[in-house]
Amino acid sequence: MTSEPILETRGVSHHFGGLVANRDISIAVARGEIVGLIGPNGAGKSTLFNLIAGVAPPTHGSIWFDGANVTALPATGRCRRGIARTFQVVKSFDGMSVIDNVIVGALVRAHSVRAARDHAVEVLQFTGLGQRAGALASELTPSEKRRLEIARALATAPKLLLLDEVLTGLTPAEAQRGVELVRAIRERGTTILMVEHVMEIVMPLVDRAIVLDLGSVLAEGKPADVVRNPAVISAYLGERHRARSA
């Protein structure tokens, strides 16, 4: 992790009309890291996430990926460069089979549909959806749909995987399997930036946490330090809790 960061935002701000969703955010993600982006509702996590994924260019500032300025690059181009994402509200291609969903992702790198299909089979096995390859995406359970989101993104062979609340709303057992999957993805060499709302799920998983509040970076560091940070506690739980835990 001595090399330059794989992802860097430099002074990124984003406004929706008069609302400032992100204010002067500068963060960096090192190669091979699992970084959690956390914060209470309305902190600006999703906005920052979307800016990194290329949904819209930021109002101010720049975004650097793998040594290049990608600020002006749209989502399609960022995917080609190696940024893949999932959606918080799953957006599977419901009219297509599970494997066809994954083939769409694999086609970004594959030279032929046949190669993409082979790659898709591999990714489905890795993500534990091998048995469901022939099913329609609309027939999957909610947790399987989350997995499909991840499988589709992984099929693009990303260097950086952006996960948007993939562990939220799962049963404890499902969430545990999700945590294992995220670890396995990192083992394969993919850097991960994940937005999560629920702290107790992400904290044991991530190497580093970045806490946003009211559109700015409130704290960042090792999970154990961040959860003890008084500013973080008050942002999450309110002033009263801060006083009690101090």
Partner 1 sequence: MPTDFPERRRRLLFVAAALVVMVAALPLFVRDVYVQNILVLTLMYAALSQSWNILSGYCGQISLGHALYFGLGAYTSTILFTKFGVLPWFGMLGGGILSALIALALGYPCFRLRGHYFVIATIVIAETAYLLFLNWDWAGAALGINMRVRGDSWVTFQFARSKLPYFYFALGLAALTWLVTWALEESKWGYWWRAVKDNPEAAESLGVVVFHSKMAAAAVSAFFTAIGGSFYAQFVSYIDPDSVMSFHFSLLMALPAVLGGIGTLWGPALGAAILIPLTELTRSYVGGSGKGIDLIVYGALVMIIALARPEGLISLFAPRRRARVGK
Site residues (CB under 8 A) for partner 1?
53, 74-76, 79-80, 84-85, 87, 91-96, 99-100, 103-105, 107-108, 113, 116-117, 121, 133-134, 152-153, 155-156
In the chain, the amino acid numbered 43 is A
* Contact yes or no for 21/14 (Cβ under 8 A): yes
* Contact yes or no for 85/153 (Cβ under 8 A): yes
Cβ-based nearer residue to partner 1, 106 or 232: 106
Q: Could you identify the residue written with the tokens 């959606």?
A: 87
CB of 75 to partner 1, least distance (A): 5
DSSP at 156:
T
For residue 157, the tally of other CB atoms under 10 A from its CB is: 17
**How far, in Å, CA of 71 to CA of 64, rounded?**
7
CB of 133 to partner 1, least distance (A): 5
CB of 160 to partner 1, least distance (A): 13
Cβ-based nearer residue to partner 1, 116 or 210: 116
**How far, in Å, CA of 221 to CA of 210, rounded?**
7
Cβ-based nearer residue to partner 1, 25 or 107: 107
Cβ-based nearer residue to partner 1, 135 or 203: 135
DSSP at 55:
S
Query: Three-class SS of residue 218?
Result: strand
Token pair, residue 169, equals: 């709303």
* Contact yes or no for 120/80 (Cβ under 8 A): no
CB of 142 to partner 1, least distance (A): 16
For residue 170, the tally of other CB atoms under 10 A from its CB is: 18
Cβ-based nearer residue to partner 1, 108 or 227: 108
| Cα diameter, the chain | 61
Cβ-based nearer residue to partner 1, 133 or 214: 133
